[in-house]
Amino acid sequence: MAYPIDAMREAALRALDEVRSSESLVAWRVAHLGRHSPLMNFLGDLGSRPVAERPAAGSAANQAKQALEAALSVKEEALRLQELEHALASEKLDLTLPGRPPQRGRLHPSSQVLRRILAIWAEMGFQVYRSREVESDEYNFQLLNFPPHHPARDMQDTFYTTRAGVILRTHTSPGQVRVMRERCPEPIRVVLPGMCFRYEQVTARAEAQFYQVEGLAVGVGITLANLKATLADFARRMFGASVRVRFRADYFPFTEPSAEMDIECFICGGSGCPVCKRSGWLEILGAGMVHPTVLSNGGYDPRRYSGFAFGMGPERIAMLRHGITDIRAFWANDPRFLEQF
Ligand code: PHE
């Protein structure tokens, strides 16, 4: 006996063949397996059929329902794969695009110059000696031959504290006496890097804090010739093998004789430019033979021992190197400045 159920099933399966998208699959499910679909109506009407027909009609309808459900899930899976393939092909993910690089920090320009300077002195046999930033008037001035009312104190505007005799060091030179007292009577070859502080009106040319690198050599038979040769050697390693240097007489209370060392301007090669103020020379450090009084303050007998000392400013060297015209840029912490180095 042929039931309309077979026709329904065939019609539904043919319609399923035409389905090409998940949206039309939803519509198909409503039409053929939904509550008001012919198949469901048929099942709902079973009770109105003659009792003898009911079992056969019921099982045919249930078989049809199972067949349609099975066909539906096959189709669902096929559509899912097809749509995935389509998405993979059309929404291309380009894995070859470069990623966004994370921002990396770097060394501050003062630290870069400082490290270069210390590396050169290390090559030349000078150890780093760290001395304190908070000093006493005694070490910063008196033991360096600046008596309390000596006019040379005016060269270094000082931050005094409310504790008598406690100050911020105005230069790294007090470290000379500290290292001598610690090492005496050993020979000394040290550099003393560190921050110095001066009570300055802050301008493009003067900051209230800045680095210095001090140097000190003490031993038997050290002469001015050693000072000259050593500093000229440093200049060649720092600024290039062909750089020329010159020494000019100067005054510091803690060295005698005292000098300033100039190097030939590396911007213009000595012919004169705005950086060297048309002189062809750049002043880069102060130096001299350690004063006999300072040697004895450090514990060394000046009749037997002698030594030389020098002091230079990394910021000043960085300014000359990079054509930086405002010293305030070093501690203003502006990334637009810092990222350039
Ligand atoms: N301390 C001196 C200054 O700050 C520099 C210096 C150091 C000079 C060592 C001579 C010897 O100006």
Can you give the residue range of the structural domain that contains 11? 5-90
To test the pocket of ligand 1, the residue of 126, 144, 169, 173 to mutate (highest count of ligand atoms within 8 Å of its CB) is: 173
Q: Are 328 and 223 in contact (CB under 8 A)?
A: no
Determine the pLDDT at residue 1.
40
Per-10-residue mean pLDDT, the chain, length 341: 76 92 92 91 88 88 92 93 90 84 89 96 98 97 94 90 96 98 98 96 90 98 98 95 96 97 90 89 96 98 98 91 89 92 89
Q: Do 318 and 207 sit in the same domain of this protein?
A: yes
CA 254/CA 53 separation, integer angstroms: 126
Q: Please give the tally of structural domains in the chain.
A: 2
Q: Do 230 and 300 sit in the same domain of this protein?
A: yes
Burial 252-277 (b: 16+ CB within 10 A, else e): bbbbeebbbbbbbbbeeebeeeebbe
Determine the pLDDT at residue 271.
93
Q: List Cα–Cα distances, 112 to 103, 116, 135, 179, 243, in angstroms.
A: 19, 6, 26, 25, 21
Q: Do 169 and 85 sit in the same domain of this protein?
A: no
**Is 273 a domain residue?**
yes
Q: Do 41 and 130 sit in the same domain of this protein?
A: no
Q: Whose CA is nearest to atom 9 of ligand 1?
A: 310
Give the ligand 1 atom nearest the CA of 196: 4
Q: 240: burial class by Cβ within 10 Å (0-12, 13-18, 19+)? A: exposed
Distance (angstroms) between ligand 1 centre and the Cα of 174 equals 10
Q: Are 216 and 248 in contact (CB under 8 A)?
A: no
To test the pocket of ligand 1, the residue of 145, 254, 258, 306 to mutate (highest count of ligand atoms within 8 Å of its CB) is: 254
Q: Does the Cβ of 255 fall within 6 Å of ligand 1?
A: yes
Distance (angstroms) between ligand 1 centre and the Cα of 104 equals 36
Determine the pLDDT at residue 155.
85
Q: List Cα–Cα distances, 124 to 96, 115, 169, 216, in angstroms.
A: 49, 14, 27, 13
Distance (angstroms) between ligand 1 centre and the Cα of 286 equals 5
Q: Does the Cβ of 175 fall within 6 Å of ligand 1?
A: no
Which regions of 152-253 does DSSP assign to beta strands (E)? Answer: 166-168, 188-197, 209-220, 245-252
> pTM of the full predicted structure?
0.71
Largest CA distance in the chain: 138
Determine the pLDDT at residue 321.
81
Tokens of 45: 């009407």
- CATH number for the domain harbouring residue 134: 3.30.930.10
